[in-house]
Structure 1
Amino acid sequence: MDILVWVIVVLFTYVLIRSTFSILGFSKPKNLPPGPTSLPIIGNLHLLGNQPHRSLAKLAQTHGPIMLLKLGQKTTLVITSTAAAKEVLQKQDLAFSNRHIPDALHAHNFSEYSLTVLPIGTQWRFLRRIVHTNIFSDKSLEAKQQIWDQKVKELIAFCQKACMSKDYVDIGGATFTTSMNLISNTLFSKDFINSYEEDSSKEFRDVVTNILVDVGKPNLVDFFPVLKKIDPQGIRRRMTRHFGKILAIFEELIEDRLAMRRSVDDDVLEVCLKISQDSPEELNRSQIKFLMLDMFVGGTDTTSTTVEWAMTELLRNPDVMAKSKDELKHVIGKGKNIKDHDLSRLPYLLCIVNETLRLHPPVPLLIPRNVENPVKLCGYIIPKDTQVLVNAWAIGQDPTIWEDSKEFKPERFLTRQIDVRGQDFELIPFGAGRRICPGFPLALRTIPIILGSLVNNFDWNLDVNLQPKVLDMTERFGISLHKANPLCLIPMPLN
């Protein structure tokens, strides 16, 4: 109760000071973008709701695609059109290139090491070069084909076991295990999860999910920095625990590798340790651990979430499922796993992935950016220290861009040449510009490989009491957009 009283006193003082400044003639800058009227203290916080991507899209219908809000003390710019997104992410990329760093990401000094939020500079460029050269280059990805094939085989074997026993498969959980082991083998040459049984993967999945949920949820500290020492929602304390668990595992792996005193040639950890040994001033152990943390969190959840949404949409649209099965049957052969070199011959499968990313972008508001200095955008003045949100979810469902925008229609991509790699701003699930998600080359390979293998090896049934068209589509908002309730299906032998 004492803390609550203190918070109320501080906020009241803040409002009093703002009112005094207004009386003394301190006016707002001119040419600001339009936006909803702010309330005292909270500004527009009451308008966010529990689905901010949807609430902000609705507000943009009234106030326009370049909209300014006051979230507590934080001025926030929301972009909801392709033209404005292109200005922010491409044409004026440098002015908008730095990140807004939420308080949660100060846990374990994450903000000082992470490629995700580091400011553009020497350290960021060095880490980005390591990632591009040793993890997500075409050469590096092609070298991992044998690992990918083995991990997909293990997923299908698990589903085959469930098929024989008529058990349910948690699609998100199973694909999370697969993507987790793909990433861990790429980084450390070992599986992090030894079994597809729920108890084996649950701890890892919960940690990663909780990180993304806690970073994405509205945090009073971000809106009222004066509350930083109190951390009233406990978000930074939880993030400290989440990060601590993963970083402790990485520390142990590094110690074990150094004790082994032998190389693992195609292993990212080994590459980083060699760089650190040769140039310790450029890459130290903390940087290695946080680079691995970036890959670990970003690479696993995006894949499993997108596959789960795609399977949900296929169940709700049996005609699309049938067309996909037909393509796979004629190109690959019924009951076979998909390999990387098959993807160029499976255009409809790739259309399904694109359509899933359109309706269910993994990061609906992208990773927030921050304006370091005042900048002019489309005739408006954007004040210094403004947080910038690009509503990729709203752009992907804009009816002026997409016909039948709410419908799942992969066919639209057969005739419409739109790429998800950051060049076509109608569809930007991975962002664009120099801050585009570095892991998108991996996602665009692993998602269709896993999805196509699941579709091509089994028929999939719902609970007898459920109908596909009434499948629960409730979202759980965070940095990434999860299904609120897991998709559990029974794999059946192919007809």
Structure 2
Amino acid sequence: MALLLSLLFFASALFFLLKLNGQRAKKPDVPPSPPKLPLIGNLHQLGTLPHRSLRSLAGKYGPLMLLYLGRIPTLIVSSAEMAEQIMKTNDLIFASRPSMTGAKELLYGCTDVGFASYGEYWRQVRKMCVVELLSIKRVNSFRSIMEEEVGLMIERISHSSSTGAAVNLAELFLSLTSGSIARAALGKKYEGEGEEGRNKFADLVKESEVLLGAFSVGDYFPSLAWVDVVTGLRGKLKRNSGELDRFLDQVIEQHLMRPSDGCDVGKQRDFVDVMLQVQKDSNSDIHLTRDNIKAIILRVNRLPYFQSQDMFTGGTDTTALTLEWVMAELAKHPNVMKKAQGEVRRVVDVKANISEEHLYQLNYMKFIIKETLRLHPPAPLLVPRESTTNVMIQNFYIPPKTRVFINAYAIGRDPTSWENPEEFLPERFANNSIDFKGQDFQFIPFGAGRRGCPGLSFAITSLELALANLLYWFDWELPQGVTEEDLDMSEALGLTVHKELPLYLVPKHHFS
């Protein structure tokens, strides 16, 4: 009997070991990875412009690549096919966001629509944003604000054109977009006394964007989060969040002091009015706290973080920097600029205001915007996602809690999707239906799927209206001594990617 029991025990143990061996042998592969260093993993390979460094690495290791950024497993997606796997086929699994130090501190525990974790709260807030704040009807109601702000910009440029001086377009575009957004969201610009053209709220938001893009040790080494206190990052975040909080309390109190209908008679309702009304509505599906409203205001005022893929996918400067890249490409390609100016001046009556109907007819100008967004997506690495469970992609195993960066820059320059991908050729969009609305994964400057940008119509309307006026009213020249070949197109990285050197051009009033 003892011998029999021994044999049974041996056989059972052997069976268990063989089964374990078989399971190990069958363990699925993970995506290819570059060699990593102890402790820091692949952080040293990101470089000063990570979207470019990661594109280069993807050329060697493939469009689905696993890196370790500190202690965090991170999937890098660099092709349209792989982006579709993340944002469509497995969209629900990758619909959440990783917890990031800056976002938690500045966005009230990530209760904005952009960084909120996927769940019922996020669904209800996004629904409110789409239905109440960013519908076509609502965007059209703000058209007069956009037109007034564009008119102010044109007046400033006209004054400069009379002197023959070059104008700083980066500065002008930032003033334009921050003014438009502040008026639509808050009801007015909140300009500081004695600071002509400066927007107090825009300055605070700009500082918060710098902090959101700052390197946090805790985001990559969770056990070393205390280092952020030593470096001073935590202190800066708390100071900025405190200033923003006090400012937003002031804004909300001013709105609450209005008449009982939440808006002055004859005054257009802004985003804060709408959210306060939703908060009061006992039949609403969502119950907003004051902090929720503040978080959503902050995301709205980062419009249109064309990335980016959220409320407005980014910062108040993203429309501004896209306009700057458009004008830089046109200055570098004067024949394209002349063709675009010819189209606008042909469609628009002499010295007429540019209407929505005019914009609808400006096909070549729309091609230019698309081509600029292909080459210069404002957020080249889309806001990171995070897997909520394990999943197989192309026979590769992706574990839960894997962070995901989609490289829109690399995808927009992928030679398997685009002919002559490094060249600025707006005509490439003339004979195809490729668009940036999230259905064509070779072109995703606004993201796609559940986390796609709900503020797309606001962003595009603002961009088209501003560009059409710039092309209609002025002829543009490079400053004396600068040629098309000399024009610096270097990038500088922040929360978004902008020109390293601000663009200066000389305006000549076309109708003078």
Instruction: Give the structure-1-normalised TM-score.
Output: 0.89
Give the Cα separation in 2 of the matches to 1:480 and 1:245: 23
Shift of 1:258: 1.4
* Residue identity opposite 1:274 in structure 2: Q
| 1:267 partnered with 2:276 | no
| 1:124 partnered with 2:122 | yes
2:220 matched to which residue of 1?
223
| 1:370 partnered with 2:386 | yes
Shift of 1:217: 4.5
More off after superposition, 296-305 vs 332-341: 332-341
Distance 1:480 1:253, change over 3 A: same
| 1:286 partnered with 2:291 | yes
Conserved 8 A contact 1:461-1:489: yes
Shift of 1:337: 4.7
Correspondence list, 1:464-483, <5 A: 464-483=480-499
2:35 matched to which residue of 1?
37
* Residue identity opposite 2:498 in structure 1: H
Shift of 1:339: 2.8
Correspondence list, 1:27-426, <5 A: 30-108=28-106, 110-193=108-191, 200-201=197-198, 206-231=203-228, 233-262=231-260, 263-264=262-263, 265-279=268-282, 282-299=287-304, 300-333=316-349, 335-426=351-442
Give the Cα separation in 2 of the matches to 1:203 and 1:166: 31
Does the residue aligned with 2:472 lie in a helix, a strand or coil? helix
Conserved 8 A contact 1:364-1:479: no
1:455 matched to which residue of 2?
471
Shift of 1:113: 1.3
Shift of 1:405: 0.7
Shift of 1:191: 2.5
Conserved 8 A contact 1:476-1:482: yes
Distance 1:341 1:227, change over 3 A: farther
* Residue identity opposite 1:214 in structure 2: L
Larger relative helix fraction = 1
Conserved 8 A contact 1:107-1:243: yes
Give the Cα separation in 2 of the matches to 1:29 and 1:74: 21
More off after superposition, 362-371 vs 163-172: 163-172
More off after superposition, 136-145 vs 360-369: 136-145
Give the Cα separation in 2 of the matches to 1:52 and 1:80: 13
Give the Cα separation in 1 of the matches to 2:213 and 2:392: 28
5+ long unaligned stretches in structure 2: 1-23, 305-315
Give the Cα separation in 2 of the matches to 1:50 and 1:207: 25
Conserved 8 A contact 1:79-1:391: yes
Matched residues, percent identical?
Answer: 35
Distance 1:225 1:321, change over 3 A: same
Does the residue aligned with 2:485 lie in a helix, a strand or coil? helix
Shift of 1:198: 7.9
Distance 1:416 1:378, change over 3 A: same
Distance 1:271 1:349, change over 3 A: same
More off after superposition, 240-249 vs 171-180: 240-249
Shift of 1:109: 5.4
Conserved 8 A contact 2:190-2:200: no
Conserved 8 A contact 2:384-2:406: yes
Distance 1:333 1:109, change over 3 A: closer
* Residue identity opposite 1:295 in structure 2: V
Please tell me the root mean square deviation across aligned C-alpha atoms, in Å.
2.3
* Residue identity opposite 1:310 in structure 2: V
Shift of 1:334: 5.4
Shift of 1:204: 5.2
Shift of 1:172: 2.0
Shift of 1:381: 0.6
Conserved 8 A contact 2:217-2:227: no
2:17 matched to which residue of 1?
none
Conserved 8 A contact 1:337-1:452: no
Distance 1:55 1:364, change over 3 A: same
More off after superposition, 142-151 vs 166-175: 166-175
Conserved 8 A contact 2:385-2:405: yes
Conserved 8 A contact 1:181-1:193: no
Give the Cα separation in 2 of the matches to 1:445 and 1:112: 28
Conserved 8 A contact 1:348-1:410: yes
| 1:445 partnered with 2:450 | no
2:310 matched to which residue of 1?
none
1:431 matched to which residue of 2?
447
Instruction: Give the structure-2-normalised TM-score.
Output: 0.86
Conserved 8 A contact 1:100-1:370: yes
5+ long unaligned stretches in structure 1: 1-25
* Residue identity opposite 2:338 in structure 1: A
* Residue identity opposite 2:31 in structure 1: P
Does the residue aligned with 1:364 lie in a helix, a strand or coil? coil
Residue by residue over 1:413-451, the C-alpha shift from the partner in whole angstroms, topping out at 9 and shown as x without a partner, is 111210101010010000000101222111111111111
Give the Cα separation in 2 of the matches to 1:338 and 1:363: 29
Q: Answer with 1 or 2: which has the greater Rg.
A: 2
